[in-house]
Structures are given as structure tokens and as C-alpha cells.
Amino acid sequence: MPIEILMPALSPTMTEGKLAKWHKQEGDEIKAGDIIAEIETDKATMEFEAVDEGRLGKILVAEGSEGVAVNTPIAVLLEEGESASAAKAAPKAEAPKAEAPKAEAPKPAAPAAAPAAAPAPAAKSGDRVFASPLARRIAQQNNIDLRAVSGSGPHGRIVKADIEKAPKGSAAAAPAAAGKAAAPVASGPGARQLADLLKMPYKLEPLSGMRKTIARRLTESKQTVPHFYLTIDTEIDELLSLRKRLNDKTEAKISVNDFVIRAVALALKKVPTANASFDDSGMMYYEHADISVAVATPNGLITPIIKQAESKGLTQIASEMKDLAARARDGKLKPEEFQGGTFSISNLGMFGIKQFEAVINPPQGCILAIGAGEQRPIVKNGQIVPATIMTCTLSVDHRAVDGAVGAQFLQAFKGFIDDPLTMLL
């Protein structure tokens, strides 16, 4: 019988994607391992390999379609001896929702997400409940509480079949859980509604998957993670001098940021309790320093990872970072190359920013914001002398890392930056 090819979950956080390109056409023979399509997720474009053999009988989702939910049928594969009529009898995929939103007056938060919105997780004893947009709509229509449904999709995600098995009218979730305040809702008009009312000229660009994810995750971070901030000044004259000497002798061309990555990794090795995440099941302390480094791309921010950075030298870090940054800007990173870091670095020094406070990237416990190195007067041995100072601010999740631990980490980091030769020992 015909085999449905489903939109794959190419990463643990993927809920929908864009079918960027078909590599096979209807009637083409397909073998296991063949690249049949390119799928654009919220962070990268990845190739989709076939797992079954047969003939591509029907394409259900057109090339370029956006907002295609995970587990949605995108094509039908025919086995040997089956005719094209079998493919025509297969169920047709639900049309993806349009990307451009319509202007609406602000509405109070509803128990379940609207059909066209990205799936909004519901709370369940501190955990997040994931469901496809279609599953959420059916649950809302049938008064079914998603928190009472077990998901059979990737990573426990609730899909249409799970909702169909659940009893109708089963205790729909209340708008706000008992004892918990409802999420804040904007009280004024949205940006687009206000611009339309005032006849302000503007150009509207539909939200990319990456921009939606950035907006959702950073909002969650500021609303749910108790941030606090620690700032320290480092002196980088010796670092700049050492960098010049090393770059004169190697083709790697080490950057100041490479020194920062190395210093962070060594400081985490020295203060391992700063390399931590909070989880409802307990505190998590990581064995390795997997450093996520923020890279700006045309679609938004992405954080490729230097894994086990504590075991890598400056030239290796420089080489890996150059490769990761280039592929990040081209949207060619693999999921494991930008998911799962233990600590983040965000560097705006190249733009002349003196100091800033970065937003934590959950579930990580810390992110270090690096400012520009600039000449400032300092006091040494009772004398005012010039020095190149770089201001660094640590944003900390207070559930995972206490103030004293954050201060100890910054002291260790400063020691490596001020005396960079210690990083080479």
C-alpha cells in the first residue's frame, strides 16, 4: 500500500518547517538514503533523506510551502507494482497557513493557541506540553485538555492521532492554572494596527521561522528566568601583544574572540559550578565546556558551538569558529552544531559597544557579554597610565548559579585574559 512521507522533525525543538526544495519529482524512483528534499527549519536548511524505497507517486506539499507542521504528509511513495491511482487516493495534506498576519485588536490569552500561530506550550507541573497546530485546534474544538493527552510524535509531541484517541470534553484547561497568574498581555494596539490607524508608511516582511523562534525563546527567558548581572573590567594589552606574535607565526589568524572562548572554557574548568543548568528534576553540572558563540546572520542570531573547548588550543578554536560562523551565515549548520551548548558568549565589541547585558539562552545558566577594548586611564603603582580595557558582563540564572559562584567565575576569566600566557600552559 502507499507509504506517506511525513514532514520530519530534524531537531528536538522543531515544530514546523518550510519545504524549501524538492530534489525528486513525481514518477522518480527513490532508494533509501536518496536526498529527496531540502527542509528549512527555524535555524538552518537541511537535506531530507528517504528511508524507504519505491516510486514518488504524488507530491502533497508544494515547493516553497511554509509553516508545514511536523508529521504532516508531504508526499506519497508507491511500492513496486502500485499505480498512480493509489497515490491519488491517499489523504491530502492540510494547506500550510499563510505567513503574513492580519491586523487585529489585542485579545486576552486563550486556553489554546490560535490555529495559524506557532504552537504555544502549555504548562504541566513545570514542564512544557508540545502539540502540532492541527492537534491544538482539534483539542480546542472538542474541549480536550492537552495536558491530559500523551503524545506519540517525535520527542513526545502531541499529534492529530493522539487527540482523536482522547475522550471528548475531557476537562479543558482553565485560562490560568490555580495559584498562578496569567501571562502578561499587551494592553495597547499592536505595531501594525497602530501604523494602519495613523496611516504611517511601512514595509511588512513576514516573520521567518528563525525570527519566530528568537521572539518566543527570548520572551520566555526574560519572563521565566531570574536574571542577575555581574560586570568586570579586563586589561587586554598583553593579550593583543601575544595575539600579534602568534598570528605572525601561524596562518590560523587568532581573534580576540578566540582568546575569550579559550578563557571562558578554562574558567569553567576552574569553577565547574558555573557550568550549570537548572532543571525541575535537579541541578545539572556539565562535564565539558561546550561554548555557544552568538553569530549574526541575515535571518537572525544563531549560536554555533565549540564543543569541549577546554581541551582545544587557540589555533583549533580559531579554525573551528571560522568554519562554523561561515556555515551559520549560509544556513548550513547541522542541529548538533548549534543545539546543546552549556554556556554562551555574545561579543559586540567589533561594533564599538562598550558594555551590554545579554539575555540568557535557556536551559543554559549563563551568558557572557563582551564589549569593545578601548583605551582608558587607569592607576598603576600610584600613577595614571593608559591601558586597553575590555568590559565584560555576565548574565546569570539565579536558580542555577549563585552570586558568589558567578563572581568566582569572572575572577578566573579575568585572570586568563589579563595574563594570556597562562592560557598556553
Phi, psi of 201, rounded to the nearest 5 degrees: -70, 140
Q: How many CB atoms lie within 10 A of CB 278?
A: 19
Written as one letter, the residue type at 14 is M
- Helix, strand or coil, per DSSP, at residue 147: helix
- CA-based R_g, the chain, Å: 25
Which three three-digit cell numbers place residue 324? 562554523
Phi, psi of 63, rounded to the nearest 5 degrees: -60, 135
Q: Are 233 and 389 in contact (CB under 8 A)?
A: yes
Task: Identify the CA nearest to 324 among candidates 344, 309, 306.
Answer: 306
Question: Which one of 23, 227, 288, 398 is the catalytic residue?
Answer: 398
Distances (CA, A) of 227 to 176, 188, 273, 395, 406: 24, 27, 17, 6, 12
Q: Which residues are CB-contacts of 123 (< 8 A; sequence separation ≥ 6)?
A: 129, 147, 177, 180
Which grid coordinates are listed for 354?
562598550
Nearest by Cα to 294 from 260, 268, 271, 319 = 260
Active site residue 227: no
Half-sphere exposure of 263 (CA within 13 A, CB side): 27
Percent helix, strand and coil across the chain, each to the nearest 5: 30, 25, 45
Residue 420 CB contacts under 8 Å (≥ 6 apart), including other chains: 238, 239, 242, 243, 259, 263
Q: How far apart are CA 262 and CA 265, in angstroms?
A: 5
Torsional class of 48: left (φ above 0), alpha (ψ -120 to 50), beta (otherwise): beta
* AA letter at 74: I
Where in the sequence numbering do the catalytic residues fall?
Answer: 398
